Structure 1
Amino acid sequence: MTDAPAVYPSASSTASQPDEQTRLSPLSVALIELALAVGGFGIGTGEFAIMGLLPNVASTYGVSIPQAGHVISAYALGVVIGAPIIAALAAKLPRKTLLLLLMSLFALGNALSALAPAFGSFTLMRFITGLPHGAYFGVAALVAASMAEPHRRARAVGRVMLGLTIATLIGTPLATFLGQMMSWRAAFLLVAGIGAITVALIAIYLPKDKVAEGASIRRELSAFTRLQVWLCFAVAAVGFGGMFSIFSYIAKTTTDTAGLPTGMVAIVLTLFGIGMNVGNVLGSRMADYSLKGTIGGMLAFNIVMMSVFSLTAHTPVMLCVCVFLTGCGFAACPAVQTRLMDVAADAQTLAAATNHSAFNIANALGAWLGGLVIAAGYGYGATGYVGAVLSALGLAVFAVSVILERRESRG
């Protein structure tokens, strides 16, 4: 680890590299990205593993499964609240220091979750554990983008996000298996351990950095005065709710609509995870060639694909194909994150962190609307139509964003 302070400037700046004296080697950059991705792996594992362990948690605390589900909402609430507040209050902290604090809080929150004696304290710990989620991903994306060439920023962001997508394939099944074989508490101790490893990796490999000149809470909060930032949030919160509308009810769609045995649910979920990883890799590459084209193109793709999902969900083969393609919809995430860096100007930390609040809103919105359609008697397959409508709304918002941006550039 070098002791020379590095400067992580605006991720949208063409001068986004450290100066010659502090320029990082390709190996150093790779190790930093690996450290950041390990943190994403830990966060993804901790966020999704609880869904498979709800019956175990409910049994331990003597509550119903719907009541136990409140801990998922508590975590999501922590993400939504924590991202903007932490990013604003930490405006004058070096990014390395902030990342270390965020991941330490995450590790501690999971360790205390494993030790929680009562359901109330467990719920509180899940809320606290969710607080650093958005800020960590936002700051990690900024650090990764600042080390990359301007035309490779989205790929750098995608490599950090790869930790999250790999968690859906490896981390979550591993933690769920450990929790079911031993105890759900062991699963959270595993996640806490991953967080502790991330702290060590960041401390070793990420150079010290200087706080950007003029950094302040007021400057970060200025992100909320920019219309383009709000439009970008809206695209994330609305346009990508469809993925969660389908995913939230995919188990019942698999068994009740497609008529597949319960054992196939795990395979279908694996297909979704593979799709997320494929989408993340391809989407980050596409975004470096055309940022706006990737966002708009993926929203249009989702409209068509999710409509096909509803039309063919009763067919096992088509269900599997459409679930894989739904996961591929994650391709737009690196692009949205990178565009937000561009439109946020000098308030990037708050904007980048709050983007993950927007995606958690998409999660809640998609699941809620999907539930309404199912409750109305339209069936589990109809969640695809919900996704298509949300994608269309997101595409409309994005079109408005692009049109206004073009008018501003002409003026």
Structure 2
Amino acid sequence: MAPSALTPTTEDYSYEAIISKDISLGGVVDHGVSKAKELIGHALKSRVETIDQNTCEAGEEDAFFVADLGEVYRQHLRWKKNLARVKPHYAVKCNPDPQVLRLLNELGCGYDCASKAEIDQILEMGVDPSRVIYAQPCKTKSHLRHAALKGVKQMTFDNIDELYKIKQISPDAELFLRIHTDDSGSLVRLSQKYGASLDTTAELLELAKKLGLNVVGVAFHIGSGATDPKAFLKACQDARFVIDQAAVYGFEIHTVDVGGGFTGDKTFEPFSAVLAAALEVYIPPHIRVIGEPGRYYVGTAFTIACSVIARRTVTDATLGTTSYMLYLNDGVYGNFSSIMYDHQHPVPMVLKAGNDIKYDVRRSGYDTPSMIEYSIWGPTCDGLDHINSSVMFPEILDVGDWLYFEDMGAYTKASATRFNGFTNSHEVIYICSEPGASALLGF
């Protein structure tokens, strides 16, 4: 679906003018935050009011997203304010939404790609290959060959066999030695799979020198959804160790890649403060620093709406209670894959009950003395397709009603499947709560 259009602005926006102006206002533009709720609510309401499950065609009542590109823009300004030294290279795997990628391109971001398809998607936007890092330590030979043909030279490695592979296929690559980090405080640990321990880095550097390869960077990743900012301190200290070690073998390290692990919640400021301080202490100022944020940019930018396709009444004669099982048209094999793969806990809220739109209705306990318990399930035949065990609403929900879930931009549609024949391609309605982002995109 084409992006929705806001009222065009006549002001002449350039990237430099927008960023300098908005950062000078405090680094996080807040004039769009209040507008965002209004725009999201309008988009949700407009869409669900057009759907009659008794007469619609198959697929017309499917789940759909509302994406606020203004939120992505605000996150970028927040990054620029707190981590000015670190150039973001967006982790495409997190959410390869084309409008998100287009906005980040306009904002001058680089990209972290892990496969041929991701590389092609970015380069087909007209992005220069120098803005792409092939941040996959264990690459498929054909993908590596394709990257070399496309001019993508920056790439990571962490083992001996990968060096031989690179020597054979892409000998002029600009290599980043990825080192092991302590990611025990992260939602998704990566060190069990990737990263060279410090007692092996000398051997790797020696072999790279012998093969005539060019090691130009050090990379690490403290884990996706990290919870311990102190992990950055040790990782930067280790990176400095490898920088000095590389010099012994004649390599001049000019870039450090601090990876991802950033979240967009209130922990970002203390996390970024620790990282900024660690970079100041351990990484010389002439060395370029890049990062690989993913969920940080998109996690809070997407809201999903799902319809109730079936309901089961559960009566407990002993307790004298009645609860309900609600079955939605999306689940853990679809856009709620983040429950299984990313340890997320999406929070359901009522969007439409009967003829009433309930978006952003906040109730106190005094307003809702009688609450009804629901469990929420996905549409497939698998018993694992379970979204929420127990949630309380004051409304009696039925088939044709709608729920919505906020903060559904990270590792959701990117990892959705077609299990049981259900679609993994859902409509995205774009809104933009920031005029700066609207101008950059021509909305």
Q: TM-score range by the shorter chain?
A: under 0.3
Q: Which has the higher contact order (CA 8 A, sep 6+)?
A: 1
Q: TM-score by structure 1 length? A: 0.23
Q: Mark the structure with the bigger radius of gyration.
A: 2
Q: TM-score by structure 2 length? A: 0.22
The structure that is helix-richer by fraction is 1
The structure that is strand-richer by fraction is 2
